[in-house]
Amino acid sequence: MASIEIEKLRHEPRGIMSLTTRQVADLKKQMFKARLDKFGRVLHCHAPGFKNVPYETDSFAPGEGVFESISITGTTCMLQCDHCRGHLLQAMRHANATNFEEVLQATIKSGARGVLVSGGSGKDGKVPILPHVDALKHAKERHSIDITIHSGFMEDDEILALRGAGIDGVMFDFPGSAETIKSVCHLDKAPADYARMVTTCKDVGIPVMPHVIIGLDWGEIKGEMDALSTLGQLKPDVLVLVILMAFPGTPMSGIVPDIDQVERVILAARVLNPDIPIQLGCAKPQGDFKERVERFAVECGANGIAYPVDETVALARELGLEPIFHGDCCSLVTKHMREA
């Protein structure tokens, strides 16, 4: 496939979904070579030592509690998106409006070198981060610790309020379909609202790491290409790809996206974002699906993978890559790229 056709795909990314198997294989090879030319041979493998998330490979065993996650709303989420219904909060350390700083300091004292601060959203889609900006600032000033935030939706003035806290990154889901935002996430927002968040974070100097959830709309691909195309223009610090993992007891329980379509979205992410580090994040179906999708991500030029299986690490070495493990969140990959 000639380079001019790659440029055509960047203008018409949905064409990637209709490529033949042979064309996909050829495009993967070109994207892998482009990734080597742009980023070098390191494959960043991330394994935060979250409690209740067992992980160990032949290559790495993370220290438990080295990187922690804290929900500032405990297990409470008012938004109740159809794929999660607050289940993601259950495995986190729990805090509330009055004791967050105490929980944060206890987490640091226990040995954590990094913290993801998240929580349930209100009906407006916002995680109540702003009352705790001073606590975050104090932690950054007093300790050598990485702090990232999974913010939910934020207005410009709320992003500006985070500017002085010294946080290492803001993460939020970046849907590409207004219909999905309304029907799955129960919000009256548009993709342009999330694009503005990326722009504002960049304008005020806060690292921004949007997450694209592949298959968010009941396992269907709807809006992902638009999201990836938009992000290719906005150029966030890191692009994180995750795959629908609908929890038991939720309306989407048992739904798994079609893996062929998932792979093509991952390939599109690399085509549309040639200059941005792309990470395959924590959330992805397990078993054979996980191994296959990790293989595909490596072959088409992903920069890193969270919790890779041994087979993925072995494949990376076969392809001439150098897997390097980090005990932190995959959104922090640019820190390791700077240190290399």
List, in order, residues 6 or more apart from 31 with CB less than 8 Å away. Answer: 267, 270, 271, 300, 301
Q: What is the spatial order of strands in the sheet that 93-94 belongs to?
A: 93-94, 67-71, 114-118, 146-150, 169-171
> 276 near 284, Cβ under 8 Å?
no
Q: What tokens were used for 296?
A: 């595909």
List, in order, residues 6 or more apart from 40 with CB less than 8 Å away. Answer: 340
Phi and psi torsions of 26, nearest 5°: -65, -40
The pLDDT of residue 52 is 66
> 107 near 171, Cβ under 8 Å?
no
**Residue type, position 270, single letter:** R
Sequential pLDDT tens for the chain (340 residues): 445 588 899 999 999 999 999 999 999 999 999 999 999 999 999 998 776 677 777 777 767 678 999 999 999 999 999 999 999 999 899 999 999 999 999 999 999 999 999 999 999 999 999 999 999 999 999 998 999 999 999 999 999 999 989 999 999 999 999 999 999 999 999 999 999 999 999 999 999 999 999 999 999 999 999 999 999 999 999 999 999 998 899 999 999 999 999 999 999 999 999 999 999 999 999 999 999 999 999 999 999 999 999 999 999 999 999 999 999 999 999 999 998 6
The whole-angstrom separation of Cα 165 and Cα 104 is: 15
The pLDDT of residue 4 is 52
The pLDDT of residue 66 is 86
The whole-angstrom separation of Cα 52 and Cα 70 is: 13
What's the pTM? 0.95
Which CATH architecture group holds 3-339? Alpha-Beta Barrel (3.20)
The pLDDT of residue 229 is 97
Residue 174 region by backbone torsions, left for phi larger than 0, else alpha for psi between -120 and 50, else beta: beta
Residue ranges of domains in the chain = 3-339
List, in order, residues 6 or more apart from 269 with CB less than 8 Å away. Answer: 212, 228, 239, 241, 278
The whole-angstrom separation of Cα 248 and Cα 88 is: 12
